Amino acid sequence: MRENPDQTDNAPSSARRSAHAPVAKPRRRRASAEGGKLDVADGRSVQGAPVQHGRAGRARVRTPQEAPASGARANAVDRLRQARADRNGITGRLHASQTPRQHKQNFIARAANQWFDRVVGAMKGEGLSAAEAAYAPHRTTRDFIFNTAGAASWAFVFPVVTMVSTQLVGVEQAGMISMAFVVALLLMFLGNFGVRTYQVSDVDEDHSFLDYQVNRWITCLLMVVVGWVYCSARGYATEMFQISMAVIAYRCVDALADVYEGRLQQVDKLYLAGISQTFRSLAALIVFCAVLAISRNSVAACTAMFIASLATFVVITWPLALLETPKSRGFSMKSLMGLFKMCAPLFVAIFLFNVIENMPKLVMEGMLPYDNQLYYNALYFPAQMILIAAQLVYKPLLLRMAGVWQDASKRLKFDLILYGIVAVIVAITAAVWAVMAWVGIPVMGVLYGIDFEEYRSLLYLMLVTGGITALIDFLYQVITIMRRQKDVTVLYCVSFFFSLFIPILLIGYAELEGAILSYLIIESILCVLLVWEYFRIRRDLSRGRHGSAGGVVEAAAEGAAASEHPRTTFVPLIDPADPELSEAESPECVEEEPRPLRPSEKRAIREHREEVMRRRTGKSGKR
């Protein structure tokens, strides 16, 4: 049989097909050697270069110089296939394997980019405070979840830092870091100045948010100065001094962030405050552990922790509070001084409470080695869990409790909430006791690398003290909501007097055991005094109240209409300045010395006058 002169041994298989053979279906489309057109079938490229199949069946595009001349029949088939490819829109497209793959961002990267775009866009516009809020208030479930996460992450920084330090740099260095945290936490209450609870319960916004910010910047600066003076006066060595100042700076950032997170809670967005606190605490903790593991240097690790906390404050906490809350009114020096005056009793009480609570640690620093600080704090952390768990229960309810207290008809509901939270505190204490008695000692041994079996009885004493401390903290918040915080200052002074000599006597006699026992005795004294004070306040209220909750507004308005200098009348009570007691609807009331009206009372008087004038003139409508 005569061989077709157009067929050669080097010709591709497609060129050797007979004229009557069916055309093979196209396989995968591949790019030509020159990268311009796609091959849509065997034996053809879009530029006309034939394809040679290798051993593995993969097509290789041959250049026109390598390909032999094809016959008219092959060229016709090529033109037919080219026309079909053009009609289907395939010509010029690259193969999927050569198309650049678009990178899909994960959730964290996408959220970070969105947050960055929002902050930068707001700053380029009218400012952060003028931007529209993106998150809704009144999310109770979110409040509990994220506030729990924030409080837990913040509280676990100190224990985890102590555990990691014990494992990496030894007991002595861990004791030094623990002591630095004790001093910094004590000074942090100077930075907070007792404002958080007052700020959250300021439902009428008598003070602007700008006033709160200026107040916090001043107290934080004072906190750093006092910390430097204290460390210098104690005569700390260079390493201890640097560790202490780094930790104080870290806690200063926490104190500064607290006023912005308090603003979020004030507008009922507590879950955003919890998110902010979670990010800041976890970032500081992770950076501390990483730097300490790499460098084995306590000073470097504490400094890195401060830097990480400051970075998260600038990037997250500060812009979040301004973006998600209404724009603040202007600054007022009179309002600022009034804020300092109103919160001074709160600060004194809280500061004295923490001095009382930490007095055994401060006495131990001068009488015992630093390793005792580690043992004391290791036993203290389970007791602190009781306080943290109790705060997770009642802190989200403070705003609602303040609203319930202002309505005189809901006092029974207020009492039920109070007794319910006290029962929860007792239950939490019992639960933590059971867990620690079961697996607590072995777990602590694994975490710290130390056998705590000989300290089991001291652990039980510390847990009881933790339950008492949680009850003290809650009662103080309740008395603040009742606006009787001045009444408890004397009680804290009495307890502080006992704390001056009881720890010294017991620590000198029984060392670590004496420190824990003195802590229990002092906290018990303060708890009894606060319970007595709370029932005394309620007894006075029950004896003195004879009117409605709006009596003070009506009485003040009538007095203002009768005289240019308004005078307020009160029933004869122990504290006539209390807004819940200042009602003068009874004919038997006794006139007392006038007091300056609060901004909310002045606003109520002004609105009452305008309403009276509208009624007299017959005008109606909105102002």
Please indicate, yes or no, if residue 561 is contained in any of the structural domains.
yes
Number of domains in the chain: 4
Higher pLDDT, 584 or 329: 329
534's tokens: 């709370």
Please indicate, yes or no, if residue 503 is contained in any of the structural domains.
yes
**258 and 162 in a common domain:** yes
Helix, strand, coil percent content, the chain, rounded in steps of 5? 70, 0, 30
Q: Which residue in this structure is represented by tokens 């002595």?
A: 172
Is residue 95 pLDDT above 80, yes or no? no
**144 and 52 in a common domain:** no
Counting beta carbons within 10 angstroms of the beta carbon of residue 97, is it exposed (0 to 12), middle (13 to 18) or buried (19 or more)? exposed
Q: Which of the 8 DSSP states describes residue 570?
A: B
**146 and 64 in a common domain:** no
Please indicate, yes or no, if residue 305 is contained in any of the structural domains.
yes
Please indicate, yes or no, if residue 440 is contained in any of the structural domains.
yes
Please indicate, yes or no, if residue 611 is contained in any of the structural domains.
yes
User: For residue 395, what pLDDT band results from cuts at 50, 70 and 90?
Assistant: confident
Partners of 30 in the β-ladder? 39
Is residue 460 pLDDT above 80, yes or no? yes
Please indicate, yes or no, if residue 374 is contained in any of the structural domains.
yes
Let me know: does 566 contact 599? Beta carbons within 8 Å. no
Higher pLDDT, 15 or 424: 424
Enumerate residues 6+ apart whose C-beta is below 8 A from 568.
552, 555, 556, 559, 582, 584, 594, 595, 597
pLDDT at 428: 95
pLDDT at 595: 59
Long-range contacts of 255-258 (CB under 8 A, 24+ apart): 255/188, 255/191, 255/192, 255/216, 255/219, 255/220, 255/223, 256/191, 256/216, 256/217, 256/220, 256/313, 257/313, 257/317, 257/318, 258/191, 258/192, 258/196, 258/216
Please indicate, yes or no, if residue 347 is contained in any of the structural domains.
no
State which H helix or E strand residue 354 sits in: helix 333-367
What is the extent of the structural domain holding 588? Answer: 551-617
Dist CA 425 CA 467 (whole Å): 7
Dist CA 524 CA 194 (whole Å): 22
pLDDT at 39: 45
Is residue 360 pLDDT above 50, yes or no? yes
* Residue where a domain terminates, one of 331, 358, 393: 331
* Residue where a domain terminates, one of 485, 515, 544: 544
User: For residue 620, what pLDDT band results from cuts at 50, 70 and 90?
Assistant: very low
Q: What does the H/E/C string look like for 419-482? A: HHHHHHHHHHHHHHHHHHHHHHHHHHHHHHCCCCHHHHHHHHHHHHHHHHHHHHHHHHHHHHHC
Q: 32-51: per-residue pLDDT in tens?
A: 444 444 444 444 444 444 44
Is residue 572 pLDDT above 90, yes or no? no
Q: pTM above the 0.85 mark?
A: no
pLDDT at 557: 37
User: What is the Cα gyration radius of the chain?
Assistant: 37
Please indicate, yes or no, if residue 4 is contained in any of the structural domains.
no
Dist CA 618 CA 623 (whole Å): 14
Is residue 366 pLDDT above 90, yes or no? no
Dist CA 478 CA 21 (whole Å): 96
Counting beta carbons within 10 angstroms of the beta carbon of residue 185, is it exposed (0 to 12), middle (13 to 18) or buried (19 or more)? middle
260's tokens: 């912005």
DSSP of 231-245? HHHHT--HHHHHHHH
**532 and 569 in a common domain:** no
